Amino acid sequence: MDFFAHLGKYILTLKGMFTRPENNKIYWRELMQQCVDLGVGSLPIVIIISVFLGAVTTVQSAYQLISPLVPLTALAQVVRDSVMLELSPTVTCLVLAGVSGSKIASELGNMRISEQIDALEIMGINTKAYLIAPKILSAIIVIPLLVILSMFLAIWGGRTAGSISGILSTDTFDRGLIDGFSTFNLIFSLIKSYTFAFLIASIASYYGYNVKGGALEIGKASTSAVVVSCILILFADYVLAALLL
Amino acid sequence: MIKATNLKKSFGDKTVLNDISAEFQTGKCNLIIGASGSGKTVLQKLLVGLLVPDSGRIFYDDQDMTGMGNDERKLLRQQIGMLFQGSALFDSMTVQQNIIFPLNMFSKHSHAEKLKKVNEVLERVNLKDVNKKYPGEISGGMKKRVGIARAIVLNPKYLFCDEPNSGLDPQTSLLIDKLINDITKEFNMTTIINTHDMNSVMEIGDNIIYMDKGYKEWEGTREEIIFSKNKLLNEFIFASDFLQDAKEMRMIEAGKKG
């Protein structure tokens, strides 16, 4: 029953966003601000995890795959497809659910507890549209871009790690990258990114916006937002793979 | 004028407001007083539209707020200002950005005109050189004054104040009371104040409603409160010996004047 109560409230919260903005300019400015916060704020962690993900994938794949029967270029293909299909969209979004999801939930929770949301309501502003919609839109704009960046960095990390550790030369890696490249993999990765971005921002906003109580509840809402987002990202990951691959 | 008729509100099994009817006069400070849990905050939230009553109606002059659609309600809210207990200033904005925010959202004036208006209201609440400061960098009393400045920047017809003196020293409390009272008279607003503060009751209470356990127990002016025979009201207002003595002094003074 609790699940359905949350689901109903979540849908109502999202439905409440769809009204005409009171002032387009202010909403646009808020959207841009959220894009900068989310993009710039998440960039360092995305860069670090991506480079190491690619590097580790190369080294571990080499450990499992290197044999006289398997061409070295296959290693680059494995790294490329692992990164594009799973590692960059899923792992990056799981990390972003922790970093950005908790930030969104605690920011909105704090605004709720300190009556800042009530103050906006009293002014005649639709707080769901003003506070939640720009966060979801900015996530949908920025997270796929971060995932694309993550793919490039992970592949570069894998290429560099392969070269440094003497597993395969950069030329061989580059040849492997081109062999059997499928554009659909990129599209599939972007579909996942858009889905995960929506889940991260909407779930975190839902938990933050509906906080009741005090400072302790902000922490609980933030934790719930991260846990639920991670579970739903993994669930959506499976569903999309089953449906589209 | 704001008029409430037969307001009822429950949360689950617990009824927090029972059949409340009241009139809040224009150009006057209307105080809602009562112990914690008496229902005064819920009453104010119903009046301002943050909560929806289970039954009853709320009229802003001739407009029935309870029957309004979202768009009408939005328009009405632009005529309402509210000072929150914790001031509710936006942490990420400077004082100037906090006050200019409603103007940016709803006013078509130029930026220079908006800045002029911000400085006018800041001057009206006796604040200087705080434009560029963040809420975290100013005192509690200053936050309240910034909250008042933000509440009045759109020239509202109705002003709501939730515990305007909470957490303030007695001297600052008096200043805030005087400010709210002066602004109410100057702009002819309908002001509704939730308070525990007995100084506020005796200084600015033009019309006072005393709430007890979700019921309206008593209504009158600050002069009438001295002579009230209502036992619950007397126990609440004149709880300390000091206040009891003050009451007797006032009664003696009133007796001398005839």
DSSP result, A138-170: HHHHHHHHHHHHHHHHHHHHHHHHHHHTTSS-H
**Chain A partners within 8 Å of B75 (Cβ):** 124
Q: A91-107: b or e for each residue (b if 16 or more CB lie within 10 Å)?
A: bbbbbbbbbbbbbbbbb
Note whether A115 contacts B86, CB cutoff 8 Å: yes
3-state secondary structure of A224: helix
Residue of A nearest to B72 (CA): A124
Hey, what amino acid is at A89? P
What is the C-alpha R_g of chain B? 19
The residue with greater pLDDT, B245 or A155, is A155
Most confident among A200-204, B144-148, B150-154 (mean pLDDT): A200-204
Hey, what amino acid is at A173? F
Average pLDDT, stretch A102-129?
94
pLDDT of residue B258: 57
Residue where the block lists tokens 């970093």: A99
pLDDT at B249 over 80: no
Average pLDDT, stretch B119-139?
92
**Which of B72, B74, B79 should we substitute to test contact with A (largest number of A Cβ atoms within 10 Å)?**
B74
Question: What are the tens digits of pLDDT across the range A142-153?
Answer: 999 999 999 999
Question: What sign does the dihedral B236-B241-B245-B246 (CA atoms) show?
Answer: negative
Distance in Å, alpha carbon of B16 to nearest chain A alpha carbon: 18
Q: How many CB atoms lie within 10 A of CB B216?
A: 22
pLDDT band at A1 (very low <50, low <70, confident <90, very high): low
**Chain A partners within 8 Å of B78 (Cβ):** 123-124
Residue of A nearest to B155 (CA): A123
Question: What are the tens digits of pLDDT across the range A169-195?
Answer: 999 999 999 998 899 999 999 999 999
Average model confidence (pLDDT) for chain B?
Answer: 89
Residue where the block lists tokens 């109606």: B57
pLDDT at A78 over 70: yes
Pairs from B197-203 (Cβ < 8 Å, separation ≥ 24): B197/B165, B197/B173, B198/B237, B198/B243, B199/B165, B199/B170, B199/B173, B199/B174, B200/B31, B200/B164, B200/B165, B200/B173, B201/B31, B201/B33, B201/B225, B201/B237, B203/B174, B203/B177, B203/B178
What are φ and ψ of residue A213, in 5° steps? Answer: 115, -135
Show the tokens assigned to A195: 């889905």
Average pLDDT, stretch B46-71?
91
Question: What sign does the dihedral B121-B127-B133-B134 (CA atoms) show?
Answer: negative
Query: Measured between alpha carbons, how far is B21 from A188 in angstroms, rounded to an integer?
Result: 61
pLDDT of residue B257: 64
Query: Is A124 touching B (CB cutoff 8 A)?
Result: yes
pLDDT of residue B248: 72
Note whether B78 contacts A26, CB cutoff 8 Å: no
pLDDT at B37 over 80: yes
**Which of A34, A108, A115, A121 should we substitute to test contact with B (largest number of B Cβ atoms within 10 Å)?**
A115
pLDDT of residue B169: 86
The residue with greater pLDDT, B200 or A159, is A159
pTM value is 0.88
pLDDT of residue B226: 80
A-B contacts at Cβ under 8 angstroms: 56
Phi-psi region of B103 (alpha: psi -120 to 50; beta: other; left: phi over 0): alpha
Query: Measured between alpha carbons, how far is A29 from A27 in angstroms, rounded to an integer?
Result: 5
Written in H, E and C, the secondary structure of chain B is: CEEEEEEEEEECCEEEEEEEEEEECCCCEEEEEECCCCCHHHHHHHHHCCCCCCEEEEEECCEEHHHCCHHHHHHHHCCEEEECCCCCCCCCCCHHHHHHHHHHHHCCCCHHHHHHHHHHHHHHCCCCCCCCCCHHHCCHHHHHHHHHHHHHCCCCCEEEEECCCCCCCHHHHHHHHHHHHHHHHHHCCEEEEEECCHHHHHHHCCEEEEEECCEEEEEECHHHHHHCCCHHHHHHHCCCHHHHHHHHHHHHHHHHHC
**Chain A partners within 8 Å of B84 (Cβ):** 115, 118-119
pLDDT at A2 over 90: no
Note whether A122 contacts B80, CB cutoff 8 Å: yes
Query: Is A26 touching B (CB cutoff 8 A)?
Result: yes
Query: Measured between alpha carbons, how far is A167 from A29 in angstroms, rounded to an integer?
Result: 49
Note which residues in 33-72 of chain B have CB less than 8 A from chain A. Answer: 48-50, 70
Query: Is A214 touching B (CB cutoff 8 A)?
Result: no
Residue of A nearest to B152 (CA): A123
**Chain A partners within 8 Å of B134 (Cβ):** none
Note which residues in 218-257 of chain B have CB less than 8 A from chain A. Answer: none
DSSP A70-118: S-THHHHHHHHHHIIIIIIIIIHHHHHIIIIIHHHHHHHHHHHHTTHHH
pLDDT at B254 over 80: no
pLDDT band at B168 (very low <50, low <70, confident <90, very high): confident
Virtual CA dihedral for B213, B169, B45, B228, nearest 10 degrees?
40
